Structure 1
Amino acid sequence: MEWQLVIDCREPSRLVGFWAEALRYRPQPPPDGHATWRDWYLSIGIPPDELGDGDCLDRLEDPTGAGPRIWFQPVPEPKSMKNRLHIDLKVGGGRAVPLPERRSRVDAEATRLVDLGARVLGGMDAPENDHYSVQLADPEGNEFCVV
């Protein structure tokens, strides 16, 4: 079975840019024979008024082929509540790595993501549980964690 992650959003191209950098993914090229995703959508009968302006840059893929594809589905409404599903970016190395080193790795990645447009929402620093993470939001407010 194949699967992809779908993220509802108002501005797909904005999130494609952010998440491509955040995940080290790349925009997925349109199917063969089509210059843009917009051309492909039109070729399968999607009405132009459903596509908005632009080239419909709305998909990412893992360049290694290991991770799932991500489709940023345009929706008219803004995000209004906490996510029921979120992404964890695992950069700390797990419990085999000493907590101070994990904290340093997590903080460095969180800083990189803030520089890309994320916003820090909070963190979890529980030395008694040997855990450290930072919760962030992408440019449209979707929560995710760096652990």
Structure 2
Amino acid sequence: MAVKIDLTLDCADAKLLAGFWKTALGYVDEPPPAPFRTREEWFAQFDLPEDDSVDDAAWLCDPDGTGPRLSILKVPEPKTAKNRLHIDIRVPGHGSPDEKWARIQAETARLVEAGGTVLEEFKGHHVVMADPEGNEFCVAAASA
């Protein structure tokens, strides 16, 4: 039996990254676990330092329940190297290689508008991008 996974991104600004990744993935804010009505109520149960805030984290989920949950957590240290694990955003649809590349380019433009940066293009195959805090990800066509 396969297990479910969550992905966690360390960050400096959880709200900024949450906004970007909700746009990029079509994710929504994950509701707090039962029986809590709000994330603030859930967060208050932990014995955390006074300067820790619920605003220092975000929890996102696929509204269809199929994709992994994404946790975005503020950390004190900056990003210093290339990610050892990255997200691939797969653009759906069939067609010729030119049609697939056009969809990849359109998705790349949408993500640049949302705050992403193009790092490198592999023409006809995929685009390497970075989110607003420099976390690398790729945009490519979905597998057939």
Quote the RMSD (CA, aligned, Å): 1.8
Instruction: Name which of 66, 75, 100 aligns with 1:102.
Output: 100
After TM superposition, the runs of 4+ consecutive aligned structure 1 residues lying more than 4 A away are none
In the alignment, which residue of structure 1 is the partner of 2:88? Answer: 88
Structure 2 unaligned segments of length 5 or more: list them.
none
116, 119, 122: which one pairs with 2:117? 119
Contact 2:56–2:74 (Cα < 8 Å) also in 1: no
Q: How high is the sequence identity, in percent, across the aligned residues?
A: 43
AA of the residue aligned to 2:100: R
Does structure 2 retain, via aligned residues, the 8 Å contact 1:37–1:55?
Answer: no
Measure, in 2, the Cα distance between the counterparts of 1:66 and 1:32.
Answer: 20
Which is richer in helix? 1
3-state SS, counterpart of residue 91 of structure 2 = coil
Corresponding pairs, count? 138
TM-score (norm 2): 0.86
Distance 1:38 1:109 in 2: 34
SS of residue matched to 1:79: coil
1:1-147 aligned within 5 A: 1-51=3-53, 55-91=55-91, 93=93, 97-125=95-123, 131-147=124-140
In structure 2, give the amino acid aligned to 1:43.
Q
Q: Which residues of structure 1 form unaligned runs of 5+?
A: 126-130
Partner SS for 2:51: helix
| SS of equivalent to 2:100 | helix
- TM-aligned CA deviation for residue 41 of structure 1: 1.7
**Structure-1-length-normalised TM-score:** 0.85
Per mean C-alpha deviation after superposition, the further-off stretch among 78-87 and 109-118 is 78-87
